[in-house]
Structure 1
Amino acid sequence: MLIPHAFRLTKGMALKQSILNYISKHRIQAGSLLSVVGCLSEVRIRLADESKVLELEEPLEILTLSGTLTPAHVHVHISVADQSGRVYGGHLVEGCVSYTAEVCLASYANLTFQREFDPQTGFDELIVSKSRQ
């Protein structure tokens, strides 16, 4: 069963940590982001080479934000546009909301998500299980 959630973040809130706090508070065991609309004053994005982090401190519009949500971890990818319309994207390390961020997500009552280290990839990877309801 899919359960929709929506909430708003305000100026100065940490984007990724605030989503994780919501997941924890509402005891969501498995979820995904549907949409996030808003703006950031700064963002840190890990680029595709897995070693470089892009740090931007300027007005930014959130274009896309997608990810899988577990009780202990949110794996989120983001794209943002600067004042000139240049687009940057990658793995969200963290970002700070400048005015607002409207978050819509879904939780899955029939699933449990967790992450476990995968020696083949070197990362904590998603493990999907049926929920014990």
Structure 2
Amino acid sequence: MITPYAKRLIRGDDLRNSLLEFVKVNGIQAGSLLTGVGCLSHANIRLANENNTLNITGPLEIITLSGTLTPQHIHVHISVADGKGNIYGGHLMPGCIISYTAELCMVEFNNMNFSREYDPQTGFDELVISDKEN
């Protein structure tokens, strides 16, 4: 019921765009990004207030990387550390560029479908989980 995946990204790859492309190419309908490690030359992270982004020039180490995956949308959080050990985190945005490598481990839940629908209580498109129809 679970299919594992692993992917290595290389210098110059955009982390978010590469991850979304991998999900689409592999037809992952309901997945989770379990872990990711690697280095970034630049990070673009949307902060918790949903309006501001943080642009950081590296070198940066990826400390945590996790989220939910669908072909229409990936909802991924990232934290990175700079050369002094300062940690920054939030929503993964396009513009997080791999400096050397990144290693990603993911799973697909073959018995489910994930989608997103507008939730008037939050004001955002939120995760909808359903059983996969056979």
The interval holding the TM-score normalised by the smaller chain is over 0.9
The aligned amino acid for 1:130 is: D
Equivalent residue number for residue 58 of structure 2? 58
Q: CA deviation at 1:48?
A: 1.0
Structure 1 unaligned blocks of 5 or more: none
- The count of residues paired between Structure 1 and Structure 2 equals 133
- Show the 5 A alignment for 1:35-50: 35-50=35-50
Shift of 1:118: 1.1
Q: Which residue of 2 aligns with 1:82?
A: 82
**Would you identify which runs of 4 or more consecutive aligned residues in structure 1 move more than 2 Å?**
none
Q: TM-score, normalised by structure 2?
A: 0.97
Partner in structure 2 of residue 73 of structure 1: 73
In angstroms, what is the RMSD of aligned CA positions?
Answer: 0.7
For 1:97 and 1:125, the matched residues in 2 are separated by 28
Which residue in the other structure is 1:101 paired with? 102
- CA distance, structure 1, for counterparts of residue 45 and residue 92 of structure 2: 5
Q: Distance in 1 between matches of 2:29 and 2:50?
A: 27
Q: CA deviation at 1:28?
A: 0.6
- Normalised to the residue count of structure 1, the TM-score between the two structures is 0.97
Give the distance between the partners of 2:48 and 2:26, measured in 1 at CA. Answer: 32
Gaps of 5+ in 2: none
